[in-house]
Copies of this chain bind each other. A is one copy, B any other.
């Protein structure tokens, strides 16, 4: 029996990464893989991979490593929602469009059910087969499709309002690209992608490396 209780944020992130590599292997008809190979592809250590895999309850083979298909299946069973998960996207700007094309290349388990924007000029436009709807239809579309996860790609000043709409429509997982910390009830999980912070981190550590290479 898998214990899904005490699993951390970080572990899920890594499992998701491992899966991408496994997909690649599977496409190339590779049958087995060692922990250090997975580790290498994800930029982590091999004990880390073994430990993460242990959580899944999957057992590898000391001589052949992990069976690619079996491990993929195990990961899918662990990470994916049975029957697939529908996601809504709010914001049909450049970022929204970029996200749509990310998803169009995705596995079928995750699909964008609908895209919304409050700019009348954008409503009705189609990209990658997805049509932009008016925000007025948000609650009804989300509820009819039983959507639980929303992606927020709107300007910061509309983010909280949009998040409130999402929560009211029954969504309890939000991926937030807006440069704001959202206030949401405790039963809503928010993952934030903060591009400004990411850039500042890169700038800082890149500079730090340069300084360390120059001085000592």
Most chain B beta carbons < 10 A, residue from A174, A193, A204 = A204
Judge whether A199 is part of the interface by a CB distance below 8 angstroms: yes
* Residues 74-120 of A at the B interface (beta carbon under 8 Å): 79-81, 85, 87, 93-95, 97-99, 101-102, 106, 110
Which residues does chain B contribute within 8 Å of A16, judged by CB atoms? 194, 196-197, 200-201
Q: Are A205 and B12 touching (Cβ within 8 A)?
A: yes
Q: Are A12 and B204 touching (Cβ within 8 A)?
A: yes
Q: Are A187 and B213 touching (Cβ within 8 A)?
A: yes
A37 to chain B, nearest CB (A): 12
Which residues does chain B contribute within 8 Å of A172, judged by CB atoms? 206, 209-210
Copies in the complex: 2
Known: A20-B179, A205-B173. A79 touches B200 (CB 8 A): yes
The A interface is mostly helix, strand or loop, or mixed, namely helix
Residue of B with least CB distance to A206 = B173
Q: Are B148 and A181 touching (Cβ within 8 A)?
A: no
Q: Which of B93, B188, B191, B196 contacts A201 (CB 8 A)?
A: B191
Residue of B with least CB distance to A208 = B4
